[in-house]
């Protein structure tokens, strides 16, 4: 693994330079991302106001805090989409990836890790603006911040493997859109991306907490916004580590079988 460090450093630098060249369009795209959380925020604050001040155990300030932190978690979770995997496989571009001295997943991780340096810099003014507009309530204790910094990286790793698994179905299908849509529907409703998990019916919340979707959005977001016991914090982190290992193993098995059947037919 230590031999991969120079590769990650080099690819990270390239990714930073590439993203800096397009920082204007990138910033505009990030501003466009605000539509989703701002709509959720306003809707649920309105619901809370009409329900005695709280909904799902969260008041207006906590709801604002959830969705403001959500924008950072969403930014950090950006990774290669299933459509990107489909293009890579269908067009025969995978041939170039297979000729690299490292596994393609390391190339993707290194590239997106480097991009996050620029994305985070561009997110800061957006986060500050949202902070002043909605006055969020967040929990910024040293312990919570430390766990959050670990959790957002594990969330990125779990989501990268999940999307890679979905995208790798392109080895056996012409299009992965249908498979990706099914996955994204589950992610939207069970990850804490659409609503905090506490807003869901109790049985659904209990199940979704243990699924990999929650490890990508809900857990890291809750670390800075929701009161949690020490056991819940440690359990959430352990689940992230466990899902990262499981999803990494599943992807490696699918990858080996897919590459064995891969035939380049692109331009």
Lowest mean pLDDT among 49-53, 151-155, 220-224, 243-247: 49-53
Nearest residue to 190 (alpha-carbon basis) of 165, 226, 151, 217: 217
pLDDT confidence band for 264 (50 / 70 / 90): low
- Give CA–CA dist 28/36, Å, rounded: 14
Q: Is residue 266 part of a domain?
A: no
**DSSP β-ladder status, 54-55 and 58-59:** antiparallel
Please state the φ and ψ torsions of residue 211, each to the nearest 5 degrees: -85, 160
3-state SS of 148-163 is: HHHHHHHHHHHHHHHH
Q: Is residue 230 part of a domain?
A: yes
Q: Is residue 103 part of a domain?
A: yes
Q: Is residue 38 part of a domain?
A: yes
pLDDT the model gives residue 251: 95
pLDDT the model gives residue 146: 94
Q: Residue 243 is part of which domain span? A: 2-261
Q: Is residue 131 part of a domain?
A: yes
pLDDT the model gives residue 212: 94
DSSP assignment letter at 140 = -
Nearest residue to 160 (alpha-carbon basis) of 50, 231, 247, 36: 247
Q: Is the model's pLDDT at 1 over the cut of 60?
A: no
pLDDT confidence band for 2 (50 / 70 / 90): low
CB burial readout 4-39, b (16+ within 10 A) else e: eeeebeebbeebbeebeeeeeebbeebeeebeebbe
Q: Is the model's pLDDT at 265 over the cut of 70?
A: no
Q: Is residue 173 part of a domain?
A: yes
The arithmetic mean of pLDDT across residues 63-81, rounded, is: 90
Cβ-Cβ contacts under 8 Å for 114 (sequence gap 6 or more):
11, 12, 13, 14, 15, 16, 19
In this predicted model, which residue has the larger pLDDT, 32 or 153? 153
pLDDT the model gives residue 28: 75
Lowest mean pLDDT among 80-89, 119-128, 152-161, 258-267: 258-267
Q: What pLDDT digit, counting tens, does each position of 21-57 carry?
A: 777 777 777 777 777 788 888 888 888 888 877 888 8
- Give CA–CA dist 41/47, Å, rounded: 10
pLDDT confidence band for 133 (50 / 70 / 90): confident
Nearest residue to 8 (alpha-carbon basis) of 90, 112, 133, 159: 112
- Residues above pLDDT 90, as percent of the chain: 34
Q: Is residue 88 part of a domain?
A: yes
pLDDT the model gives residue 157: 95
Count of domains for the chain: 1
Give yes or no for a contact between 205 and 197, defined as CB atoms under 8 angstroms apart: yes
The arithmetic mean of pLDDT across residues 205-214, rounded, is: 92
Q: Is residue 267 part of a domain?
A: no
Q: State the average pLDDT for the chain.
A: 87
Q: What pLDDT digit, counting tens, does each position of 91-104 carry?
A: 878 888 888 888 88
227: left (phi over 0), alpha (psi -120 to 50) or beta: beta
Q: What pLDDT digit, counting tens, does each position of 170-206 carry?
A: 888 878 888 888 999 999 889 988 888 888 888 998 9
């Amino acid at each position: 693994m230590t031999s991969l460090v120079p590769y990650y450093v080099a690819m990270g630098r390239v990714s930073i330079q590439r993203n800096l060249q397009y920082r204007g369009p990138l910033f505009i795209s990030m501003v466009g991302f605000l539509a989703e959380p701002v709509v959720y925020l306003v809707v649920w604050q309105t619901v809370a106001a009409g329900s005695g001040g709280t909904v799902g155990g969260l008041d207006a300030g906590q709801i604002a805090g959830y969705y403001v932190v959500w924008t950072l978690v969403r930014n950090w979770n950006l990774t290669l989409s299933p459509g990107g995997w489909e293009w890579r496989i269908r067009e025969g571009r995978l041939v170039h990836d297979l000729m690299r001295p490292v596994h393609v997943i390391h190339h993707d991780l290194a590239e997106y890790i480097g991009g996050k340096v620029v994305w985070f810099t561009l997110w800061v003014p957006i986060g500050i603006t949202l902070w002043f507009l909605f006055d969020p309530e967040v929990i910024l204790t040293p312990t919570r911040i430390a766990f959050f910094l670990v959790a957002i990286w594990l969330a990125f790793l779990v989501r990268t493997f999940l999307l890679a698994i979905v995208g790798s179905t392109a080895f056996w299908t012409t299009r992965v859109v249908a498979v990706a849509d099914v996955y994204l529907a589950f992610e939207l409703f069970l990850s804490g991306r659409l609503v905090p998990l506490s807003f869901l019916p109790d049985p659904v919340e209990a199940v979704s907490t243990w699924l990999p979707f929650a490890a990508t959005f809900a857990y890291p977001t809750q670390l800075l916004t929701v009161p949690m016991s020490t056991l819940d914090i440690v359990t959430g982190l352990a689940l992230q580590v466990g899902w990262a290992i499981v999803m990494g193993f599943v992807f490696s098995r699918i990858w080996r079988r897919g590459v064995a059947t891969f035939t380049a037919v692109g331009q």
